[in-house]
Structures are given as C-alpha cells and as structure tokens.
Structure 1
Amino acid sequence: MATGAAASGALTTAGCGTGPGTQSSALKVVAADYGDPGRGTSSQGYWDALVGDFQERHPGAEIDVEVHSWKDVDKNVARMAAEGNPPDIAQIGAYADFAAKDMLYRAGEVLSIPVQADFLPALAEAGEVRRVQYGMPFAASTRLLFYNKTLFKKAGLDPAEPPRTWNQLASAAARLKDAGVKIPYGLPLGPEEAPAEAMMWILSSGGAYTDRVGDYTVDARANIKAFDWLRERLVRSGLTNPNPGRTDRQQLFDAFVRGDVGMLNGHPTLLKEARARGVDYGTAVPPGADGPSPGTLGVADWVMAFKHNGRGEEAGRFLDFVFSERNHYAFAERYDLLPVTTSANDRMRERAERKPLRRFQEELSSAEFYPVGKVSWATVSADIKRSIGRAVEADGDPARVLSAIQRRAEAAETAAQES
C-alpha cells in the first residue's frame, strides 16, 4: 500500500479476487491521488461521492476504491498484476505493457459507443497499441512557464516580458538571485516529475524521446544539448534548487506559492494553489534554445479495465458513469485539470471562471505526449525517474547519463517485442 494513501473507499470491505474464478462481489478500482491527504484534498473524497451516486442509480452495486499516491500507484498495480490479482479497473500512468500481455479489455469492449466517441481524438489515439484503443484517458494537462510577477519587479524585471529563450531565462534567473530570491528557477528532476520536466527541456531544444517511427532517441544531440545547458548555465551557477535530481514537483509548487521560487514549469493545478495564496503570477510558453519552445508537453493519465475477473460488463457500466459529462467535468474542475472529452471541454470553455485554463486547453490540441503506446515505456519512464537527475549533478556527464538510459531503453524495447 502506498504511503499516505487511503486504505479503501470505505464503501465495501470486500477485496478483489485472489485468482481466476475467485472474486468478491465488489468491483475493485485502484486510482491515483491528485490531491493531498494531509490537506484534506485527497481524491478519495471524489471517488467516495461518485460511488455513492452510482449506487443510488444501481442499487446493490458494490465498488471498492483504493487511492494510492502517484509515487506508488503504477508500481503497486504492476505488482498486483504480477501476483495474478489485478484490480478490475486501474487509473494510473501507463497501460501498454498490460495490453501487450493481453490483460486488458479493449476500450470498445467496455465503453458504450457515445462515451468512447466523446474522447478528444488526439487522446484517444494516444491510448492505442497497434491501432487498438486499450487506454482510456482520464485527465490531461499541458505545461506552461509560471513566473512570480512580484519577484520579477523586485529584481528589476518587466513582468510583462517573461523570458522567451534559454539565455533570457538564465539572465532573469541571475537577476532574481541577485535580488535575494531563494530559488530563481525551480527544477524538479526527482521521481515525481522527472519524465515531464526532462521532456519539456528536450522539446525546447528540438528533441524528443522517440523519432517519427517510434525508436528511442533519448541520447540525441538536441537532448544532450539541453542537459548540458541546464547543468552549466542553471545548476552550476546556483540558479536552481539544490539537488534537482532529488526534488519533487510538489516541493517546488509549495515553494512557489510561498514566494520562494521565481520561475518554474507548471501544470493547471498550480493555478488553483497560486490563486488561493494570492500569488501575482504570469504564464508563458516555456523558453526554447532560440525562441519560445517549438513543442508543448501534454500529459494524460489513463484508465484501463483488466480481464482477469471477467468483470467487463460491470466495469463498463461504472466507467460510462465516470466519463459522463457531469462527473468528468466535476473531477477536472476539482483539480484544475483539462477534461479529456469533447463535451466536458466545451463545458469548461463556456465557464467564465475557468478562463485561466483556456491557454492550457489551447495547447492541448498540438501537444506532444509521452510514447505511452510503446510497451516498454513504463520501464523507460521508471528509469528516467531514477536516473535523469544525475545528468545535472556537479560532476554529471549528460552525454553519458542519457546514453546509458538509451541503451537500457533499447534493451527494454527488445525484451518487450520478444515477450
């Protein structure tokens, strides 16, 4: 069980099955936590209320929801699956390895046609393995550069002119440091955010994790260039948080809303936190090597239905309810995330109070996503979480670190193809 995660949805005490043909009466769901249990914002509250509404409409239905922290949920579901005891539904970060092992229902086998057709096309396509959709997008986000306008003014920087290039970013960070700002640029390369932060810098250099035919390119020249620049111009110059490779995203989000961070890349959830704390902030397209970044990172989290217990019909009935416009919009609104369905996206655009999210919504249609359709991606992503931070250490060698990740990624892909 993940540290800090709720033990269960407290709606039923039944667990999931212990083997083929041995199952409880409850539909077992494992989901990731988008909130903070310590602050009373855990996703457990959302799921509890949702299940309560579902049971009112379907008397006798039993749904057992466990919410795990993002640090642990993927590995916990992988362990359950390896032990022959997967949940009926999992809401995690990757699906392709389970699909390749024929452990999942196809989306069309569980969802009604109107619900499946409502997914945004780019996200539905990202949920495919060999042109068949197994991954159902659950929530999405894009990334923008956040900057503290108050700290910019303190450093003599124009808050209406955020940095557009790497050099401008380094210059602004140096001015912020001279003005006494604790963390001029927040760089989270710890396990929580490493694949995303790394990909943003790779995209800003014109690179990618994979090429057009899907082969890994982790150690491409553009990628190494980005990490060489990060190490030399930001980390070694003392313009970031100490030990970026051991710093998680939430630590820096918390520091940003305290007024301790001048700039960092952030997703829509930070909007809510910043507004709640009265931070005067701005957003901009992340800087690139020679101008605004040519690529925007999009991140989607995924729902999948496991075949192990033969609960496809029950899973589909519940997932249709989860993805209904009202319920899906309620989740996206609660955590300032981007909806993954056309109906909920349209609803968000119509709400004047959601105007700060529109820039993120606009970025979603052209965003670059992780190569989640690759069976090996879960393994490679875990390796990036463990290893990429070493590239910016004082004695780090970006070319060596990225080349090592590349070799392991190629080996993982070969193993996945052979299995």
Structure 2
Amino acid sequence: MALLTRRATLALGTIALAAPRIARAQAPVSITVHYAQPFIYKESYDAIAAAFARREPNIQVEFVTTPNYEEGMQLILRQQATGRMPDLTYQGFNRLRLFAERGIAQDLAPLLTAEGEPAALGYAPNLLALGQFAGIQAGLAFAASNPVCFYNADLVRRAGGDPDRMPMDWDGHIALARRIEALGDGTEGMFYRWMGDDWMFSALLFGHGGRMLTEDERDIGFAGREGLESLTLIDRMVKEGGMPNLTTDAAQQAFAAGKLGMFYWTTAVLRGTIQQVGKNFELRTGPMPVIDAERGRLPTGGAAGMLTAKDPTKREAAWKFLRFSTGPEGTALMARNTGYIPMNQIAIDDPRWLGEFYRDNPLYTTAVKQVPISIPWYAFPGTNSVRVTQTIVDNTARIVEQRATPEQVLPEMAAEVRRLLPRRAS
C-alpha cells in the first residue's frame, strides 16, 4: 500500500481538520445500517455509533446484521426487489462488483469530491480503488485484512521450534505441524481455514503468482500449475501436517484451549482471538509463508460501505455515517476493536490515531507489514458469483476429506466454474 510521507500526512490532516464541518441534520432522522459478521465487527460498530452520536445527535442509527458476507449480499438482493433495503450496507469487497453491475450501488465519487480533495480526507487512490467497479465508486473501504498465521509459541517451543524464527515456507510449517501433533494429548499441528468462501484458496493461488480468471476474464485462470500446486498444498497439510477436518468454530476453540499449534486465517479475528486465548499460552502472529518471492501476493479481505438510501434526508444522514466510519476517527476505532487494517490514510500515518496502538500491540503489525504484497479480493463477474465461490469451497472439501486427489479435483472444479461464468462474444 503506497503510504503518504508523514510530513504530507500531517499537512493533509491539518487541512482536513480546518475544513468546514458537515452540516448537522436539521431534524431527527433514523437510518438503517447493515453489516455482516457481528462476531468480528460488533464492538467496532458499537464504538463508532457511540462516537458518531456525539457528533450527530439528531441521527439515530439502527443496525441490521447477517452472519457472513454471502448472506449479507442475498439480503440486499431480496430487499432490493421489495424496495425495503437498508440505507447503508457494508459488503465484502468481492461482492461490490455485482451491486455495481446491477445498478444497486450508488456512485460515491460526486459526494466525496464535493467535500474536497479525497486524498486530503485520507482517501488515498489505492484505498479508493478497493471500492471501484463498473466505472463508479461503488463503496468506500471500511476495513481490510490479509491472511496471517496465529501460533501457540509454547507448543512451538515444545516441538523444538523457535517462535522468534518461524519457518518462512510451507515445507517448514508442515514439518513443524507434524512435530507439534507428535506431542500427543490430543494436540493438533495446524489448521488452514479453507471453508466459507474462496478467500483462503485465493491466498494460496495468489501466493503462487496465479489468478482466478485470465486477464480478459474469458476463461479460468487457476486451471494450470498454480492451481494444482495450491490444491496439492492443502492435500499435504492433511496428509503430512495432520490437519483435522474441523469447522472454523471448532478450530478456534481448539486453538484457544492450547490444543492447536498454528491457525491460518484472517487478521480480522485477532482481537477476538486475544480475548479467547487470555493467559492460556503465549500467542503470536506471523506472516503467511512465502511461496513465490517475486510474484506471490495475498488477497485483501474486508468490507466497504455502499450507499443505498433513496430518500434524500436518509441518504444525507447515511452518507454522514459512512464518511465518519471511514474517516480517521472511525477507522481507528475499527482497527482497535478488530484486527483489520485501517482504511484511512490519515489514521494510518498520523501517530495521534494509531501510532501508539501499534507500538503497544505488536500482534497487530503482521498484517500491516503484508500490505505491500496484498491485492484486491477477486470478484467474479456475472450473476453466479456466489455459486462460483461455493463450487470452489465444495471441491476443496473433497481434498480435505480425502475423497479425491488434487489432480482429480482441479479439472472438474475448473469445468464447473467455467459453466457458471457469463457467456461472452468471441
């Protein structure tokens, strides 16, 4: 992520602070705001809402939640058909494309530029790009994450490893997992959170330098070597690393109880993991193992705020909440209450907001250090994007459950996804 210099940032911060304050709503107004994954986000949204209420006491915010991004997307699609959508919704980066292509997402660029130069408000071009689809600013990035390795430093030591010098490749991680499992007493070595969506599969694929679709999006991009090596790596985690077939909840519970050595998932769950682990063991975070040092990348997970209000008064109020939540104060509250990376450049660079926090909480810095190799979470084109995601998950399950080999799964998965892609003229 291209960062502004500190001098430039402080100057921009001064400009932003000196800018005229957004006018208050003239009369009380209530808005409905949707977000997904309350098990991760609830504390941050509650903190943001409380701070926003002090600034805008005439705007009442009512939250609606869904368990995950996929159900959040379906909620908006259903309610759009009945005209009962919330006024503002925070959607996964990989779902914004669908809303933009269907004309549901409103273009936020005019609203943002009306308040001044976006960069002066903390919206750097690379951050804005996360919410740009179909030629519009479909959303403003609220929170971003990348996959990290959570590990139990006590188990690593007992298995003969060094928590300060963790392996940098998957061979080393798999070997360490095998030694941790050998400790016995129900201890598992590793768990790679592969279910739910295609994000962690893309982490391996991008890590190999691969891509989901070809550059022109006319065909599958993962059907070659990079895709096969990604699936083979999952197969090795099971066969060589002893990875159990657990649900995410069960894996989190095992990790928090000190029965799982390494857990690979989003940095977004860091705060919750810290609370679950407590003083059970020494918790550490580390980078995802390097696969291709030159071409390897990681997916950027997270959410962006998308404006859906039609009523002018509610639309103005919802925009104010979106701006606050993605501004320096809101994004700092989000980062402190989750494990996500802040999405406002001022909050990133200005020590007033998160400088001391990162200094005092080193577990949070792993994801920030991986930002230079992070790329957008891929959004499949067309109306079958959710079915594509489920196809990838279902086929990965065949490997985790040892029902098929990577060589069998890859061509079948590619063929299934190919059938779900939009047909394009030759």
* Cα gap change, 1:412 to 1:290, in 2 (>3 Å): closer
1:165 and 2:172 are equivalent in the alignment: no
Give the match for residue 323 of structure 2. Answer: 320
Distance 2:50 2:287 in 1: 41
> Which letter maps to 1:391?
I
| Long gaps (5+) in structure 1 | 1-23, 37-41
Give the match for residue 254 of structure 2. Answer: 255
> Which letter maps to 1:259?
G
1:196 and 2:195 are equivalent in the alignment: no
| Long gaps (5+) in structure 2 | 1-27
Give the match for residue 283 of structure 2. Answer: 281
RMSD value, Cα: 3.1
- Report SS of the residue matched to 1:164: coil
> How many Å apart are 1:164 and its aligned residue?
2.2
1:234 and 2:237 are equivalent in the alignment: yes
1:33 and 2:37 are equivalent in the alignment: yes
* More deviation, 330-339/77-86: 77-86
Where is the helix percentage greater, Structure 1 or Structure 2?
2
Distance 2:171 2:294 in 1: 12
Contact 1:35 1:335 in 2 (8 A): no
Distance 1:292 1:253 in 2: 32
Distance 1:268 1:130 in 2: 29
Superposed CA offset, 1:234-277 (max 9, x none): 2134611225xxx22x4323322221111122333454345442
* More deviation, 365-374/177-186: 365-374
> How many Å apart are 1:371 and its aligned residue?
1.7
Distance 2:240 2:54 in 1: 59
1:348 and 2:354 are equivalent in the alignment: yes
1:217 and 2:221 are equivalent in the alignment: yes
Contact 2:297 2:375 in 1 (8 A): yes
* Cα gap change, 1:208 to 1:182, in 2 (>3 Å): farther
1:179 and 2:183 are equivalent in the alignment: yes
Give the match for residue 380 of structure 1. Answer: 388
Contact 1:272 1:336 in 2 (8 A): yes
Superposed CA offset, 1:138-190 (max 9, x none): 10112222322211221222333322223222221221121126221112222
* Cα gap change, 1:154 to 1:292, in 2 (>3 Å): farther
Distance 1:368 1:34 in 2: 25
> Which letter maps to 2:73?
D
Distance 2:238 2:199 in 1: 18
1:147 and 2:159 are equivalent in the alignment: no
1:297 and 2:304 are equivalent in the alignment: no
Distance 2:335 2:164 in 1: 29
> Which letter maps to 1:75?
Q
Contact 2:97 2:134 in 1 (8 A): no
Q: Normalising by structure 1, what TM-score?
A: 0.79
> How many Å apart are 1:103 and its aligned residue?
1.4
* More deviation, 143-152/349-358: 349-358
Superposed CA offset, 1:299-352 (max 9, x none): 131211125555433322222222232122112211122111101112323532
1:102 and 2:108 are equivalent in the alignment: no
Distance 2:90 2:215 in 1: 28
* Cα gap change, 1:317 to 1:84, in 2 (>3 Å): same
Contact 2:193 2:265 in 1 (8 A): no
Distance 1:292 1:281 in 2: 30
